[in-house]
Structure formats: structure tokens, C-alpha cells
């Protein structure tokens, strides 16, 4: 299973048998959190930066591929000595998210009864994930973050950190997300979830002991997501109507763009669990900072952190209008910092130079 090899991860057990009280009801526990860190925590523990990953990311934000880490760090270009998040200055910590499959408790984890959670894993929200991260900070002796940084699902958590714990966040860098999931974002996520659940090998979520899991459904879900992470212009420029190699589309062969989507699906199968994709996608659909707080304006009025809002010029999944609305509702109405990119939503991972300038400026 993904996450079986520890790699550079460290693990903390939280909440004990009484468990974490969940926003949607019920409890989950004990909860194990996997995390990685870079740099040194200062004696006053006042230089800690929390970096939060997106849907299929994990705690390996920086560093090479290796045992336990099938790919290089997803933000290696920004984290390290002399880089935008300078580990000679900052103690950088990246936890794997609650519900994930890279060492933190999720559907593929073993429940207290000795069986995998599978279909029994409860509904979780972004706020539940932040409660787990806050408990991790307590366990590590970090009372206040010098900065919380995240994009996409990580941006949702960065935003919730500022609302739920305003006195614990000095700076917040929120990237490519809005105050709440939109109807279109929910629709796109729900189709990906349906693709996984429609796979005959999904077995209602209890496939861990079976010879085959819902690989086809997960690969299809990833392909659907990949289209929304990129732009029509980029796909046209890269692939157009070209066939894949010597294949002939009129005779059952593939177009190059079809091969590209299949490749991304196959890559994900090697490192991710289908149930986690479902659980985390639905948590993203539940994202709404205003829920139970009198609306987004009232919720965001409580933010004390110096907030930087970053958007991608061509993001068609989390459009700039969402970041603009978010900025209007935040105290001080910060200017939205826009990264010009042809890539779309994935630009916060791809546009290393532009992102480095904005993140370094926010941390200066």
C-alpha cells in the first residue's frame, strides 16, 4: 500500500482512543500523522512555517525520490537553503493530511479492530484536517506559525487555519482557492468520485483484501481532474490532434493527449489510494469558511494573519474571481498577486520562478 515505507517521514500519534471529534459527527481515533521537516526550530519556536499539500500531494514537499518517496518533492524548487522558503532561516514542516494514504490515518489505515477502515472511514472536512494539524503543532511545541502556506486543498487548510486559530498564524499565503467550493468545482470532484465508485472492483470501498482494486476508476478520475488542472491552450499547443507515436486513431490507436491522460492516471496508481481520493475530494467539496459562522464575510473578519492571496491567470478550476472575492472579504483587502501562466491550476507547482518571488516577498 502507499505510505508503507517510512522514507524521511516521522510519525506522531494523537487524540488517543477517545479520538478526534469530527465536524460531521462521530469520532476518529487514535490518529497517526506523518510529517517531514527541513531546517531547525529556533529555541523560541518562532520560525516555523507550515506547508500544506494539495489533493494528491503528501508530506514530501522537498527532496529527491527514494525509499518511501516514489517522486521528488512537489515543491523542491521553493524549499531549501537560499530558496523562497529558506531552510537556513525557517523550520519548515509538511504533514500528510488526515484522510490521506502516505502515513497519516486514512481509509487504508488499520482501525482499532485490526481491519482496514475502508468503507467505514467517516466523513471528514477541511476543519477536521486543521484540528489534526493543530494537535500536531501542540505535540511539537509550536504555539504559533510564522507562516502557513498552501495551494488548492492546501490553500483551503491555510485559510481555515487563519479563521480557526487566528492567534496562531502570523502570516498566511493562500494560493489558488476561494472562500468556498463553487458548484462547478463540486461537480467536477463529484464526477471523479463517481468514476471510482463505478469501478466494479471498488467493492463499496472494501477492496484491500481483494486481488484487484479500483485502478481503472482511479485512473479515470485522475484523467478528469488533469483536464481541469491544465488549460485548453496548453493542451492544444502540446498535443493538438497528433497521434501517439506511430498509432493510428482511425484504427483504434490513441491521440497523444489520450496517452498523456492515461500516463497521469497510471502514475497515480503507483502512489495513491482510491478511497483517499474519494474522501479528500468530498472534503474539498465541503470547503466553506462561512459555514456555521454567519457567512464568509463574518468568518474572514476574524483573521489576524498578514495574508497574501495568490492566483493563476489561466486557472479554470479555481478562477481568479474566487481569489478576488476572498481578498475583498479579508481584513485590509490585500491585493491579489497574479502569476501569469499558460499552465492553469497546476501553475502553483510548475511556475517555480514566479511563485518563488511571491512567496519570498510574503515571508520577507
Neighbouring-strand partners of residue 69: 66
Q: Do 296 and 265 sit in the same domain of this protein?
A: no
Q: Would residue 326 count as lying in a domain?
A: yes
Q: Do 147 and 201 sit in the same domain of this protein?
A: no
Nearest to 158 by CA among 351, 323, 9: 323
Q: To which H or E segment does residue 26 belong?
A: none
Give the pLDDT confidence of 156-179 residue by residue, as tens digits: 999 999 999 999 999 999 999 999
Q: Do 164 and 205 sit in the same domain of this protein?
A: no
Q: Do 147 and 253 sit in the same domain of this protein?
A: no
pLDDT over threshold 70, residue 10 = yes
Q: Domain total for the chain?
A: 2
Domain boundary among 248, 265, 282: 282
Q: Do 161 and 271 sit in the same domain of this protein?
A: no
CA–CA separation, 177 vs 152, rounded Å?
5
Tell me the pLDDT band of 2, cut-offs 50, 70 and 90.
Answer: low
DSSP symbol at 279: H
Domain boundary among 282, 303, 323: 282
Q: Do 203 and 332 sit in the same domain of this protein?
A: no
Nearest to 254 by CA among 241, 244, 264: 244
Give the structural domain span for 190. 186-282
Q: Do 39 and 149 sit in the same domain of this protein?
A: yes
Tell me the pLDDT band of 72, cut-offs 50, 70 and 90.
Answer: very high
Q: For residue 343, give every residue at least 6 positions away whose Cβ sits within 8 Å of its Cβ, in sequence order, or none.
A: 230, 231, 234, 312, 314, 350, 351
Buried b (16+ CB within 10 A) or exposed e, 140-176: bebeebbbbbbbbbbbbbbbbbbbbbeebbbbbbbbb
Q: Do 203 and 241 sit in the same domain of this protein?
A: yes
Neighbouring-strand partners of residue 187: none
Q: Would residue 1 count as lying in a domain?
A: no
pLDDT over threshold 90, residue 79 = yes
* 207: CATH: 1.10.1740.110
Q: Classify residue 35 by burial, with Cβ atoms within 10 Å: 0-12, 13-18, 19+.
A: buried
Q: Do 207 and 91 sit in the same domain of this protein?
A: no
The reported pLDDT for the residue numbered 148 is 98
Domain boundary among 219, 251, 282: 282
Catalytic residue numbers read 152, 315, 345
Q: Would residue 4 count as lying in a domain?
A: no
CA–CA separation, 117 vs 105, rounded Å?
9
* 357: CATH: 3.40.50.1820
The reported pLDDT for the residue numbered 333 is 97
Q: Which three cell numbers stand for residue 342?
A: 499558460
Give the pLDDT confidence of 37-70 residue by residue, as tens digits: 999 999 999 999 999 999 999 999 999 988 888 7
The reported pLDDT for the residue numbered 262 is 97
pLDDT over threshold 70, residue 198 = yes
Average per-residue pLDDT in the chain? Answer: 96
Buried b (16+ CB within 10 A) or exposed e, 212-229: ebbbbbbbbbbbbbbbbb
Which residue is associated with the grid cell 500536531?
136
pLDDT over threshold 80, residue 1 = no
Integer CA distances (angstroms), 175 to 124, 192, 309, 321, 327, in order: 22, 23, 6, 13, 12
Give the pLDDT confidence of 315-347 residue by residue, as tens digits: 999 999 999 999 999 999 999 999 999 999 999
Tell me the pLDDT band of 97, cut-offs 50, 70 and 90.
Answer: very high
The reported pLDDT for the residue numbered 70 is 79
Taking a C-beta distance cutoff of 8 angstroms, is the pair 31, 15 a contact? yes
Of all residues in the chain, what percent carry a pLDDT higher than 90? 95
Q: Do 177 and 312 sit in the same domain of this protein?
A: yes
Give the pLDDT confidence of 102-129 residue by residue, as tens digits: 999 999 999 999 999 999 999 999 999 9
Q: Would residue 2 count as lying in a domain?
A: no
The reported pLDDT for the residue numbered 231 is 97
- Average of per-residue pLDDT across 242-259: 97
Q: Do 336 and 252 sit in the same domain of this protein?
A: no
Q: Do 316 and 343 sit in the same domain of this protein?
A: yes
The reported pLDDT for the residue numbered 296 is 98
Amino acid at each position: 500500500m502507499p505510505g508503507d515505507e517510512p522514507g524521511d517521514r516521522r510519525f506522531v500519534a494523537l487524540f488517543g482512543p477517545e479520538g478526534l471529534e469530527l465536524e460531521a459527527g462521530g469520532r476518529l481515533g487514535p490518529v497517526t500523522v506523518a510529517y517531514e521537516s527541513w531546517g531547525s526550530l529556533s529555541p523560541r519556536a518562532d520560525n516555523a512555517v507550515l506547508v500544506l499539500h494539495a489533493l494528491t500531494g503528501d508530506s514530501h514537499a522537498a527532496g529527491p525520490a527514494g525509499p518511501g518517496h516514489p517522486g521528488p518533492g512537489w515543491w523542491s524548487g521553493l524549499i531549501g537553503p537560499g530558496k523562497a522558503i529558506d531552510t537556513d532561516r525557517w523550520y519548515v514542516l509538511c504533514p500528510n493530511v488526515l484522510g490521506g494514504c502516505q502515513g497519516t490515518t486514512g481509509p487504508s489505515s488499520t482501525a482499532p479492530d485490526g481491519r482496514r477502515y475502508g468503507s467505514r472511514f467517516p466523513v471528514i472536512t477541511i476543519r477536521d484536517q486543521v484540528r489534526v494539524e493543530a494537535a500536531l503543532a501542540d505535540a511539537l511545541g509550536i504555539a504559533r506559525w510564522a507562516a502557513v502556506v498552501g495551494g488548492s486543498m492546501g490553500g483551503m487548510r491555510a485559510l481555515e487555519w487563519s479563521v480557526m486559530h487566528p492567534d496562531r498564524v502570523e502570516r498566511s499565503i493562500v494560493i489558488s482557492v476561494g472562500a468556498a467550493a463553487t458548484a462547478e468545482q463540486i461537480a467536477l470532484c463529484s464526477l471523479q468520485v463517481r468514476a471510482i465508485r463505478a469501478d466494479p472492483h471498488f467493492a463499496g470501498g472494501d477492496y484491500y483484501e481483494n486481488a484487484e482494486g479500483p485502478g481503472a476508476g482511479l485512473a479515470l478520475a485522475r484523467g478528469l481532474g488533469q483536464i481541469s488542472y491544465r488549460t485548453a491552450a496548453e493542451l492544444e499547443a502540446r498535443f493538438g490532434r497528433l497521434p501517439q507515436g506511430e498509432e493510428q486513431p482511425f484504427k483504434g490507436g490513441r491521440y497523444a493527449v489520450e496517452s498523456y491522460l492515461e500516463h497521469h492516471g497510471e502514475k497515480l496508481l503507483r502512489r495513491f489510494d482510491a478511497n483517499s481520493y474519494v474522501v479528500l475530494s468530498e472534503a474539498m467539496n465541503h470547503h466553506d469558511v462561512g459555514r456555521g459562522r454567519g457567512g464568509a464575510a463574518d468568518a474572514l473578519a476574524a483573521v489576524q494573519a498578514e495574508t497574501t492571496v495568490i492566483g493563476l491567470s489561466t486557472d479554470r478550476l479555481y478562477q481568479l474571481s474566487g481569489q478576488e472575492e476572498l481578498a475583498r472579504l479579508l481584513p485590509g483587502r490585500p491585493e491579489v498577486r497574479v502569476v501569469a501562466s499558460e499552465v492553469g491550476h497546476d501553475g502553483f507547482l510548475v511556475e517555480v520562478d514566479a511563485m518563488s518571488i511571491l512567496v519570498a516577498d510574503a515571508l520577507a
